[in-house]
Amino acid sequence: MADGFHGPLERISPTCVRIPKSYKPGMRVDGIIYASEELLDLIREDQAPEQVANVAFLPGIQVASLAMPDIHWGYGFPIGGVAATDPEEGGVISPGGVGYDINCGVRLVRSNLQWEDVQPYQQKLVDALFRNVPTGVGRGGKYKFSAKELRRLMREGPRALIHRGLATERDIEFTEAEGCIAGAEPELVSQRALSRGSDQCGTLGSGNHFLEVQVVDEIFDQRAAQAMGLRQGMVCVMIHSGSRGLGYQVCDDALRRLRHVPEKYGIRLPDRQLACAPINSPEGREYLGAMCAAANFAWCNRQLLMWQARETFQEVLGSSWESLGMQLVYDVAHNIAKFETHTINGKQKRVWVHRKGATRAFPPGHPEVPAPYKHIGQPVIIPGDMGRASWVLVGQQGSMEQTFGTTCHGAGRVMSRTKAVRSAQGRRIDQELLQKGIVARARSWRGLAEEQPDAYKDVDLVVEVVHQAHLAKKVARMRPVGVIKG
C-alpha cells in the first residue's frame, strides 16, 4: 500500500470527517468519510482518503464524494467509495467506481438447524463443501453454458435458472433487484469475457471470496430477526463471490476503451484510473450495458453456489434442503452502479449511484424492499473476517438522507496481501482458527495467510459507526464455524 494520507480530515460529527473541496483545485464537492476516531487512525495509513478527494473531480457528482468506515485503497475509487452522478448535469460513469469484480456481493441462507444439531458433522460438512464447491483462481465448475446460454443468464439473471431446476421463485424474490438489472446488453460483452465465464458460473474464486458455515451468536433486534427467520444458535451459510473472470474481463475491456475518452469530452482528472465517460455518451452507454450484463451473471453465480451448498447439506445430513429450511434470507451487491431516485437539495433526481465496496441499505417502506421486509427495511449483510464475526443489519432512513441509501460492505483491509503473507511466515493459520473452533479449508497456505483475521479491521468497530450514523441498524451477529476459500 502507498504512504499515508496527510491532508485535512475535519471532524464534523461523531461518525463523520470531511475533506473540504478547497483541499485540491478541481474538487467539485467535499469528501465525507464515515469513521470513528479509532478507525480514523487506520484510515490515515494509506492513500484511500486521497482517492476520496480525487473522486470529487468527477463531472455531475452530487452532494459529496463519500466513503464508508471500511474504506481502503483501491483502483481509482477507494474500496468503500460511493458517488452519485446526474446524467442531466453531464454526469459520468466510471468503471473504477464499480471495480473489477462487478457485482461482488453476499448472500445469507438460514436453516432450521441449531448448532448442536450440526456440531457432530462440523468437519465432515466443511470437507464436503470444499470438495463440492469449486474454489481457486480460474477454476471452473460443473455447470457449463454455451455462449447463447450465457447471454440469457446475463439478460435475465437467476430467473433463467428456474427451468433447469436450479432456482426457485422465492430465491428470486429475496435477491436484490430480483437478480436482474434492466439495461443489460450481453451483445456488448466480449468473446474473451464469454470464454472466461463459460464454466465459472457456480464457482467461488479466490482472494477474499468465501463460503462460511456460521452460527447466529447474538440478536440485537428481535423484531427484524424474526422477520428474516433468524434466531440465536441457528446455523446459516454466508456466500461471498462475484462475476468471476467474466466480470473482470468486462471491466478490463472498458478501461482499455475509456483510456482517452475523458480528453475527448474535455474532462480533467487527477488520476487516470478514474477513466470515465458521460453517461449519455456512446462510450458510457456501452460500458453500462456490459456492466449490467456482468452484474446479472454474478447473481447467477451466487445462486448456483447456494444450490451446491444446499445439495451438500442434503448429502451430509441426509435430509432435503427444503426440510432443513435452507431458505435465502437475502442477497445484496456491493460492487455496482445503479440508476436510482434520490432526494437531493429538496428535489427528486434520477442518478447513477456508484457503490464500490459499499452496500445498498434502503429503509422500511422503500418500494424496492421485498414485501416481507417492508416493515423492517432492506437486509444488509456485512462479512467480517474468518476468525471473528459477520453481521446482519437493516437499512435506515438516515442512509437515504446522507449516503444515497448506502452503508459499509465488510471489515476493510488493514494489511496488504503481501504484508499479510509476510506476517504469517512460520504459522499455520488453519490451526490457529481450529483453536477457536473454526474448521478452515483453502487451496493453498497462501490463501489463508492473505486472508488471516489480522489482515482486517475489527468488523464490530465498522458496524458500530454505521449503526450510530443511522445508515443501518444492527440485527444479528454471526460467528464462523466452517470456512472454505480459494
Hey, which residues are catalytic here?
A: 409
Q: Nearest-CA neighbor of 383 among 157, 138, 104? A: 104
Q: Are 327 and 306 in contact (CB under 8 A)?
A: no
- Residue 405 CA, chain-centre distance (Å), reads 15
Greatest Cα-to-Cα distance within the chain, rounded to the nearest angstrom: 64
Q: Give residue 43's Cα distance to chain centre.
A: 19
Alpha-carbon distance 376 to 191, whole Å? 43
d(CA 150, CA 293): 10
CB atoms within 10 A of CB 219: 19
76 dihedral zone (left: phi>0; alpha: psi -120 to 50; beta): left
376 burial level (CB within 10 Å; 0-12, 13-18, 19+)? buried
Q: What is the DSSP letter of 2?
A: P
- E strands, 261-408, are 277-278, 328-333, 335-344, 347-356, 359-360, 379-382, 390-395, 406-407
**Amino acid in the structure at residue 63:** V
How many angstroms separate the CA atoms of 174 and 129, rounded? 23
Characterize the bridge pairing of strands 210-219 and 235-241. antiparallel
Which H or E element spans position 217?
A: strand 210-219
All three cell numbers of 131? 470438495
User: Residue 346: is it exposed, middle or buried by C-beta count within 10 angstroms (0-12/13-18/19+)?
Assistant: exposed
| Cβ neighbour number for residue 416 with a 10 Å cutoff | 16
Identity (one letter) of the amino acid at 261? V
Quickly list DSSP for 153-167. Answer: HHHHGGGGGGGGTS-
How far apart CA 383 and CA 395 sit, in angstroms, is 16
Residue 319 grid cell: 435430509
347: exposed, middle or buried (Cβ count in 10 Å: 0-12, 13-18, 19+): exposed
- Distance (Å, rounded) from C-alpha 240 to C-alpha 382? 10
Burial class (CB in 10 A: 0-12, 13-18, 19+), 431: exposed
